[in-house]
Structure formats: C-alpha cells, structure tokens
Structure 1
Amino acid sequence: MFGKPKSRRTRNAVVDILNGFLSILVLAIIVLVGIVVWGISQFYAEGQSSQDTVFIVERGNGLSTVAQRLEDAGLISNRWIFIGGAMAEKKERALKHGEYKLTAGASMADILTELSEGTPITYSVTFPEGYTSWQIVERLNEAPLLEGNIETLPEEGTLLPDTYVYERGATRQSVLDRMIAAHDEALAEIWAERDPNLPLDTPEQLVILASIVEKETGVDGERPQVASVFVNRLKRNMRLQSDPTTIYGITKGVGTLGRGLRKSELEARTDYNTYQIDGLPAGPIANPGLAALQATANPDKTAYLYFVAAGATPSDGHLFATNYADHRKNVAQWRAVEREAAAEAANEAELTREALEQQEAEAADAGN
C-alpha cells in the first residue's frame, strides 16, 4: 500500500547533484568576487596615458558614450569597469559637459572625479573700455571656441567692457548677455551713489556722458577731471564741443575715422555734433567702463571748463584751464609739441630714407 522507500543509490545521486550545484555556485561566487576585486584594482590603478590629455564631454553625452570614447582614446583600459565604477559611486548621471585636462597616469577613478566634480578648462576674451558695440561684436566673432552668431547689434552703451571667462562651446550671445547684465548691475549701483548735484536726470544720461569721458582720455587718473569739465559746461549751458561725439556721428561706431575732422564736419548740425547742439548727444558714443561711469557719477570738484592734450601721445594726458585765455596758452603749448613731434618724425623718416639709399648704392657698386 505504501511506495517503496527510495534506495540509497537514489539518495546519493540527489546529494551528488546538490553538491555539484553548490560547488559550481561557490566557484561562480569565487570567480565573481575575483572579477570584482580585479575590476576595483583596475579602477584605481594608474592609468595608461603617459602625458596630460584634454578630453571633451560633449553636451548630451551619457556615461556609456563617454566610457566608449575614453577607451577609444586609450585613456582607460576597459569601459565596463569605468561604467561599473561610476554606478558604484552613484555618478552615472553626474558627468558634466565641458573640456577637461586629464593628467598623465590618471586612474579611472581620477578621471571619473574630474569629469563629474572638476572645473572645465576656461578661456577669456577682453574688451577694452570705450569699445563701441560694433567693435565688441567683432572681437567676439574672433574669439576662439565660441559658437553661434550675433543676430542683432546691441545698443551702444549697454555693455560693460571687461574680461569675460567662458568655456568651450559657449555661445557668443551668452557672453553678450553677461555683459548687459554686468552693465545694468553696475549702472544701478553707481547711479544710486551719484553726486546729487549732477546736471543729469537719468542713468541713461550718465552713460552718455561717461562714454564721452571714456573716449576723451585714456589716463585713469584724469577721468574725474575730464568729467568735471563736461559737468561744469552743462551747468553753465555751454556746449560740450567734444571731437569724439562728432566723429561718432560720422562713423556710427563702425570702424575708425582714420583722419582729423574736416571744417565741414565740425560745422554740420547732427545729433552727435556737440559743437553745434546744446547738451548731450543723442546717445552714447561707446561702451564706457566701470571707472568712467564712477568718475562721471562723482567727478572732481573743479572750476575747469577746457582741456587740451598735453603731449603727442594719449598717455601724456591733458592740460586743464578755467578760462579761455589760459586755454589758448595751453593750446599753443600743445601745437608746439605737435610741431616738434612732426619734425622729429620727418627727420627720422629722412634719416631712414638716406640709409636705404646708401644701402642700395653700395649694393649697386658691389655688383659692378
């Protein structure tokens, strides 16, 4: 009525199967542990690269793509170990786009840390104070590793010249946007702390006058004095009579005039010819820097109404006067300096000409 008990042979076969399975399982675990230990050692071992290398994580690149590219570039020995290490450290989504410097011998762990926590390589572009918007866009177009085009030329006087840092692949428009934001922030702070007696009604008027100050002098210490001249003139209802404003009316900020102003240009009535119009010109004539904005907002307290160049170069600065008679004396002094500089230049050119003629004559004699 009852089945026959299993034979000893059957029980032994089952035990053998179980023992075999357990042996295989133990062996698999040992192999797996060995692989993991080996993988960990490879992950932290010194890398293959013998020199510093620049590696770029492109926008949209995921862990698998980056690992494959690192392996293809010979920077890691096994992409799967790199992927496993990233997952173990919970950094599979932590890679940041950008350009990175990987040092010689960097391990996979080092590379993962650099690509997820490091600072990308940066570049910079400098815009001199007093650049027009056209000049700024031209320099942006020349800057390396920036992308995209500037569709619309920014309004004059809305950008803050400075040195701007960017990463490979940043857009030109993003740099412009930062310049606009920096300008707006600086202007708001400076306007809030301006001299209350300024003959200016709006921040925009401050920018216009600061742009004139910027173009009139390249000497840092002179800006507050130059600003005082124009402020004093505005208070007295005197015309500003600034050459740079008249020049801007001709060039519109594109390129340079490349010559002196003509009589007809000084006499032409335009929105920018401050020899012919009262008050400020129609708009800024450049993008003033921080120092010019500050100097214009808080100019020196002077009685100056005139200034003229003190020497033949911009670095020589200016001579200031409180009345027209003294100004005429300063102008006479400047013209004397100009004549002397012109004579020296002519003399230098003549000496160079004579030297070249002598060389040619000696060469001709030697040939005969």
Structure 2
Amino acid sequence: MWRNIASNALTFLVVVVFLFGGALIWAQNEYSASGPLDAPICLQVARGSNFNRVSQDLEEQGAISSGMIFRLGADYTEKAGQLKAGAYLVPERASMTEITDIVTKGGASTCGTEVVYRIGVNSALVQVRELDPAVGRYTEVLEFNPAEPAPTEYAAFRDDMSTRFRVSLAEGVTSWQVVQELGQVDVLDGEVANLPVEGSLAPDSYEVTKGDGRGALIERMQMAQQVILDNAWENRAEGLPYESKNEALTMASIVEKETGNAEERFLVASVFVNRLERGMRLQTDPTVIYGITNGQGVLGRGIRQSELRAETPYNTYVIAGLPPTPIANPGRAAIEAALNPAASDFIYFVAKTLNPADGHNFAATLDEHNSNVAAYRKLEAARPNQ
C-alpha cells in the first residue's frame, strides 16, 4: 500500500512540476508577446506610485492582458523597484517587457501635457502643449508672454500633478537674458547668486520639476556647455589661431550671432579664422552691439557711425583679434564650426537678400565682395516703404 501511495505521490509531483513549468513558459511568452493595444496611449505614473497601481491602470486602458503577469515579470527581471514617475507614450502592440522598460528607464517624459518656458534672443514665451498619442504630435493649448499677466487657464495646467515642465534656451541668448527670464519661471525657486560667465550656458531644452532651484538649473547648463566645449576642443582641427578654449568659445559666439543658417556656420567660421590668420580685423557688427548693450537685451536700432569708431574692447572694427569674452551663449553646432571651420579662402561675406534666413554671399577678394555688397544695396533701395 505504501508503495502505491509513494508512486501516486511521485506521479502527482511530476504532474505539478510539469504544469508549473508549462505555466512558467506560458507566462514568459505572455510577458514578451505583443500587447493588445491597437492605438498608442499616454500612461501617467504619479510620484510614489508602484507596479500594482500601474498594472491596474494599464489593464483599464487595455494595454496588457494580465496585471499579475506584468507585476511578476517586473519582479522576476528585478525592475519592480525601478519605477520612475512621469508621463510615458506606450506604443500600439507594446509588450509587457517593453512597457516595463519604458516606465523604469527614467529620463524625460514622452507624452501628456507640458509647459515650456522658451527663452529667445528677442523675446520669451510660455507655451502649454499636449501630445496627442494617436498622431505623436504636440498641439498648442495656450501661449503667452511671461512678462504679462498669465491667462487664468494657466494655473490649472501648472498645478496639475501630471504636468511636466521644460526650460528651453535658444542659441545666441546672453547670460543676462537667461537670468532675467528664469526669474519669470514661476515653478522654480531661489535666486541666481552671480551672473554666469558669458558663453558658459548650453542652449538646449531642460526638463525641470516644481521647486527646482534656479541656481541648480544654471549649474546644469554650465556643466552641459563644458562637456560640449571639451569634446569639441579635443577633436579640433590643427593650426587654429586660438590660444585657449575661451577664445574658441568667443569665436563660436560670433559665428552664432552672425548666422542662423545651420548650413553656413562652418563657412562663416572659416571667414573669421582666415581673417585672424591674415592679421585682419574681424569687423563684425554683433561684437559692437554687445559692447553697447553688455548683453542686456536687444539694441533695437542701427549702429551709429560714432559707435563703429569708438575704441572699446568689443569693437572689432577697431581692435585686432578677438574680443575679451564671448558675446552670447553659442550652441553645439556653432562651437563645432569654430573648432572645425570649412576649408576656404573667403575673407568677406554679405547677406544675399533682405531675409536673413537666405544666407550670405562669400568672397575671397575685395572686388568680389564689393560686387556682392552692390547687389545687396540694390535690394535695400528697392525695398517697399523706404
């Protein structure tokens, strides 16, 4: 009898092990298989949330077939403790494996409502926008000048716990402009103790959270710019007429202010490098303007002849070589152009048309340049209402 009992028990154990193994294989396949979503969704993961709450939300939105398998899979892959708060775009047919990776990898949120504080060269702007998961594009909900009273609807977006915030710096803004406009960003705290060194802030888009310090954000911008400059300096072309990284950064800022045309930056840089190498003055208006404004806002008028003749450290019509500091915060592309300029014999350039976006005509001789200038003057003379 005992032999029969032992035999039956062994048989039962084999069946249990077999069933368990089969269930485990089935669960693993379910965890990695394509999911049931037939359209992308925006998944909100609140601060302090856990995989149990996330799995319930995913089940309710039809993104996963089993909350239990989703939770067990996260435990098995040791990712259950790595959940990151945010708003995440979950693509159609995403597997539970892919969704787990999305909500645990961290980084910038990828969908939902966001408020973007844009700091531009000529103005600042606050934009409230929302990503439509179905089409993968942002739609603008609200827009206003931060120097003016905010629309009443803005507070609801700002105070919503799921809203994300970004501070976006345009290429060519000055450090003074950045500090001034950060003071208008009402989700940030604290003051900026000292004006950042000109050129030391990396133009980019920075995700922030409510209560972040303005000083800490400035430090992030400075660290990012230092990494960009160090990498570009390490990979610079040979024989450039710069004695330091600061001189290269100064050149990059001039290139940034002289052209907004990405395709031209390397040619513009070559003109100024060629001028330095030949002992010619740079003769660039943006440096003169910086000497007048000290980077504090836009000049808002033409440069006077007396200002072009004035002997100031930033008047490159008078001084030899580079000015003593950068004249703005250049972006990555301008820094790379300054440290790897195009190979050319150009030493002059002038705008092609009255639209700055159309770029410049370049010349290697004064005769060519004078011809280009004459063509530009004709366009000026023919301008309506002049």
Calculate the TM-score normalised by the size of structure 2: 0.59
Task: Give the distance between the partners of 1:174 and 1:345, measured in 2 at CA.
Answer: 49
In structure 2, the residue corresponding to 1:279 is in which secondary structure?
A: coil
| Distance 1:335-1:183 versus aligned 2 partners, 3 A rule | same
CA separation in 2, counterparts of 1:200 and 1:95?
47
Greater strand fraction, Structure 1 or Structure 2: 2
Identity percentage of aligned residues? 46
Structure 2 unaligned residues grouped into runs of 5+: 1-42, 49-74, 76-80, 89-99, 110-161
Could you say which residue in structure 1 is the equivalent of 2:213? 171
SS of equivalent residue, structure 1 residue 165 = strand
Corresponding residue for residue 174 of structure 2: 132
1:250 aligns with 2:289: no
Q: Deviations over 1:55-76 (max 9, x none)?
A: 777xxxxxxxxxxxxxxxxxxx
Q: Among 199, 210, 218, which residue is 2:241 paired with?
A: 199
Tell me the SS of whatever aligns to 2:377.
helix
Question: Is residue 181 of structure 1 aligned with residue 207 of structure 2?
Answer: no
Give TM-score scaled by structure 1 length. Answer: 0.62
Unaligned runs of at least 5 residues, structure 1: 1-51, 58-88, 102-112, 347-368
Q: Is the 8 A contact 1:99 1:168 kept in 2?
A: no
Distance 1:269 1:98 in 2: 55
Question: CA offset at residue 134 of structure 1?
Answer: 0.9
Q: State the secondary structure of the residue aligned to 2:206.
A: strand
Larger radius of gyration: 1
Alignment of 1:31-110 (within 5 A): none
1:282 to 309, 324, 327: 324
What CA deviation, in whole Å up to 9, does each residue of 1:109-135 have, x standing for no partner? Answer: xxxx9xx97977531111000110011
Contact 1:99–1:167 (Cα < 8 Å) also in 2: no
Q: Quick one: which amino acid aligns to residue 327 of structure 2?
A: I
In structure 1, what is the Cα distance between the partners aligned to 2:202 and 2:372?
34
3-state secondary structure, aligned to 2:375? helix
Is the CA contact (8 Å cut-off) linking 2:280 and 2:320 kept in structure 1? Answer: yes
- Which residue is equivalent to 1:318? 360
1:124/1:163 contact within 8 Å kept: yes
Partners in 2 of 1:96 and 1:228 — Cα distance?
A: 49
SS of alignment partner, residue 171 of structure 2: coil
Counterpart mapping for 1:139-150 below 5 A? 139-150=181-192
Task: Look up the equivalent residue of 2:226 and give its one-letter code.
Answer: D
Question: Alpha-carbon deviations, 1:209-267, whole Å to 9, x = none?
Answer: 11000000010000000000000000000000010001100100001111111111000
Residues 146 and 317 (structure 1), Cα distance of their counterparts in 2 relative to 1, 3 Å cut = same
In terms of fraction of residues, the more helix-rich structure is: 1
Mapped contact 2:44–2:86 kept (Cα < 8 A) = no
* Distance of 1:339 and 1:163 partners within structure 2: 40
The within-5 A match list for 1:326-341 is 326-341=368-383
RMSD over equivalenced CA pairs, Å: 3.3
Q: Which amino acid aligns with 2:279?
A: N
